[in-house]
C-alpha cells in the first residue's frame, strides 16, 4: 500500500482508497492531466530560430547607428549663444555675492537649468545655505542675463527665495 497526494486537498491518501477521507474527493475516477513532452528542435528548426535572433540584433544595430547620426538639438551651439556651464558658474558667483555668508552656498547642480527667452538667458536652480540662526535651508534662485556689448553676458536681475 502506497500513499499518494489527494489532487484536491493535497493530504496523504492510500492508493487503494476510492475517495479522500479528508475532503471526500473521488480519487478512483480521477485521471491526472498529461504533461506534454518536451521535444528537441531539429537542426533545421534550430537554424531558423537562430536566424530570427540574428535578424533582430542586426535591426537593433542599424537603428542604433541611425540614432547616433541624427544631430542632437541640445548639443548644437552657435557662436552667439553662451556656454551653459559658463552662465551657470557666473550665476552661482552672483548668488553667492547676494548672501550674507559669501562662501556658504552649496548648489544642487542637478536642479540648475539654463533657458533662453528672446534675447535673455535665465539660470534657475536651488542651493543650500545657512540662515542667520545657523540652520540649513534650501532656497531657489533665478538670474537673468543679457548679452554685453562685448562677448560676455551681464546679470541684470537676481531673485532668491
Q: In this model, does residue 7 exceed pLDDT 80? A: yes
Q: How far is CA 139 from CA 95, 97, 131, 144, 159, in A?
A: 11, 15, 10, 17, 10
pLDDT at 95: 87
pLDDT at 9: 92
* Closest alpha carbon to 95 in 105, 86, 87: 105
pLDDT at 72: 59
DSSP the chain: --EEE-TTT--EEETT-SB-TTT--B-TT--PPPPPPP-PPPHHHHHHHHHHHHHHHHHHHHHHHHHHHSPPTTT---TTSPPHHHHHHHHHHHHHHHSSSTT-EEEEEEEEEEEEETTEEEEEEEEEEE-TTS-EEEEEEEEEEEE-SSSSEEEEEEEE-
Sequence-distant (6+) residues with CB within 8 A of 159 are 141, 142, 143
Predicted confidence (pLDDT) per residue in 72-119, tens digit:
554 444 444 556 788 888 888 888 888 877 667 888 888 889 988 888
Length of the chain: 161
Which residue's entry shows cell 537649468?
113
Mean pLDDT of the chain: 82
Amino acid at each position: 500500500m502506497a500513499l499518494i497526494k489527494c489532487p484536491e486537498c493535497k493530504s496523504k491518501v492510500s492508493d487503494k482508497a476510492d475517495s479522500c477521507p479528508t475532503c471526500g474527493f473521488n480519487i478512483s475516477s480521477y485521471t491526472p492531466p498529461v504533461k506534454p513532452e518536451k521535444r528537441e528542435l531539429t537542426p533545421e528548426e534550430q537554424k531558423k530560430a537562430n536566424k530570427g535572433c540574428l535578424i533582430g540584433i542586426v535591426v537593433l544595430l542599424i537603428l542604433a547607428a541611425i540614432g547616433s547620426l541624427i544631430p542632437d538639438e541640445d548639443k548644437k551651439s552657435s557662436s552667439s549663444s553662451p556656454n551653459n556651464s559658463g552662465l551657470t558658474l557666473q550665476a552661482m558667483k552672483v548668488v553667492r555675492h547676494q548672501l550674507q555668508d559669501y562662501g556658504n552656498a552649496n548648489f544642487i547642480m542637478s536642479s540648475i537649468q539654463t533657458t533662453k527667452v528672446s534675447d535673455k538667458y535665465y539660470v534657475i536652480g536651488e542651493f543650500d545655505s545657512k540662515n542667520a540662526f545657523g540652520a540649513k535651508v534650501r532656497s531657489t534662485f533665478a538670474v537673468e542675463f543679457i548679452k554685453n556689448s562685448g562677448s560676455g553676458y551681464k546679470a541684470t536681475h537676481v531673485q532668491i527665495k
